[in-house]
């Protein structure tokens, strides 16, 4: 009984740790609005719950996975009475799609950069007609590419509502969390500060540079196919092994306290290997240089 309770505590700690690791690897860097005063723990929990999705649909999908994982973990424990089984069942819900969709995040980032280049050209065209910055952003929001349509419309709505343009632009850059977006926002912030006359030329240069970046990133993305294929193969192989074990008598060896510890150690080693191979196919993170006012 004491050993089983010890295993249950270890399983609870492990599930929290694994979920936090997965959340960290997926990226949860969207900061809260600058005007809010929120504790560090509350901010981390909120960012972990929201995830790194740009659109509401992406955030809802992530939240649905987390809720499903919690429900499946509880159901697994009620059905089997084995904490380690419940832990692995809960981790598998967000973990398998995360491993299987290796490369999808980079594809979305490339598509977002391409959409930003397109939107920047349209914004430049609006400004070339003599429109003010707010009017140009509102006008461009109506024809913004789908990949960034929601953040652009949110930015336009904030400006129309009379929000501080600097804060609104900083929040726009934080929501997109993309280097191209930060270059565009930096140019717009400089224009807001000094009303320079060469904003259209700067935006045209940023759009051209973004188009070149998209082309290079697509070439690099194609060269990372082999590690991603390896991750997918290993994920499927692991699921097949688990299915075979679950249907045989071998699983009974992992229902004891010692067996659960061994099962968690083996699963942790396998998951760690998958995460390491997956990391080989990911581009290095690009640090942000814009910070909201008042943030060091």
**pLDDT at residue number 154:** 92
Task: Assess contact for 153 and 139: CB atoms under 8 A.
Answer: no
The neighbour count for residue 280, using CB atoms within 10 Å, is: 13
**pLDDT at residue number 198:** 81
**pLDDT at residue number 119:** 92
Q: Number of folded domains in the chain?
A: 2
- On whether both 70 and 7 belong to a single domain, the answer is yes
- On whether both 267 and 135 belong to a single domain, the answer is no
- On whether both 160 and 183 belong to a single domain, the answer is yes
**pLDDT at residue number 118:** 93
**pLDDT at residue number 24:** 44
pTM of the model: 0.61
Q: How many whole angstroms separate alpha carbon 277 and alpha carbon 275? A: 6
- On whether both 201 and 261 belong to a single domain, the answer is no
Q: Which residues contact 236 (CB under 8 A, 6 or more apart)?
A: none
Q: 96 in a domain, yes or no?
A: yes
- On whether both 27 and 83 belong to a single domain, the answer is yes
Q: 91 in a domain, yes or no?
A: yes
**pLDDT at residue number 256:** 81
pLDDT by residue for the chain (296 residues), tens only, comes to 444 433 443 444 444 444 433 444 444 344 444 444 445 677 677 766 766 655 667 777 777 878 888 888 888 778 777 788 788 878 888 887 777 777 777 888 888 899 999 999 999 988 888 878 888 898 888 888 988 999 999 999 999 998 888 999 999 988 888 888 888 888 898 888 877 678 888 989 999 998 898 888 888 888 777 777 877 788 888 778 777 766 656 677 777 888 888 888 988 888 888 888 777 777 776 767 776 655 44
- On whether both 24 and 92 belong to a single domain, the answer is yes
- On whether both 233 and 96 belong to a single domain, the answer is yes
Q: List the structure tokens of 261.
A: 């510890």
Q: 228 in a domain, yes or no?
A: yes
Domain that holds residue 134: 107-222
- On whether both 116 and 158 belong to a single domain, the answer is yes
- On whether both 162 and 91 belong to a single domain, the answer is no
- On whether both 230 and 169 belong to a single domain, the answer is no
- On whether both 83 and 228 belong to a single domain, the answer is yes
Which residue, among 131, 168, 132, has the nearest Cα to 152 in the 3D structure?
168
- On whether both 77 and 158 belong to a single domain, the answer is no
Q: How many whole angstroms separate alpha carbon 264 and alpha carbon 268? A: 6
């Amino acid at each position: 009984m004491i050993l089983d309770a010890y295993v249950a505590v270890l399983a609870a700690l492990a599930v929290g740790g694994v979920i936090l690791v997965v959340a960290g690897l997926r990226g949860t860097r969207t900061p809260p609005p600058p005007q809010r005063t929120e504790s560090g723990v509350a901010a981390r929990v909120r960012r972990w719950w929201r995830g790194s999705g740009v659109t509401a649909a992406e955030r809802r999908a992530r939240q649905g996975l987390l809720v499903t994982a919690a429900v499946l973990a509880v159901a697994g424990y009620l059905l089997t009475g084995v904490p380690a089984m419940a832990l692995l069942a809960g981790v598998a819900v967000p973990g398998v799609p995360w491993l299987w969709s290796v490369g999808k995040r980079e594809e979305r980032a490339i598509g977002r950069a391409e959409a930003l280049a397109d939107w920047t050209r349209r914004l430049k065209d609006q400004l070339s007609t003599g429109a003010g910055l707010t009017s140009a952003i509102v006008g461009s929001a109506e024809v913004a590419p789908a990949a960034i349509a929601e953040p652009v419309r949110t930015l336009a709505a904030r400006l129309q509502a009379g929000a501080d343009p600097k804060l609104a632009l900083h929040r726009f850059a934080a929501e997109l969390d993309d280097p191209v977006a930060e270059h565009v926002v930096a140019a717009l912030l400089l224009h807001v500060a000094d009303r320079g006359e060469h904003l259209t030329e700067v935006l045209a240069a940023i759009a051209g540079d973004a188009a070149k970046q998209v082309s290079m990133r697509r070439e690099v993305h194609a060269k990372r196919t082999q590690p991603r294929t390896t991750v997918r193969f290993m994920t499927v192989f692991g699921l097949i092994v688990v299915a075979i074990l679950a249907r045989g008598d071998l699983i009974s060896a992992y229902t004891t306290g010692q067996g659960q510890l061994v099962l968690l150690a083996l699963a942790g080693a396998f998951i760690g290997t998958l995460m390491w191979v997956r990391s080989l196919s990911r581009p290095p993170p690009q640090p942000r240089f814009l910070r909201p006012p008042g943030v060091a």
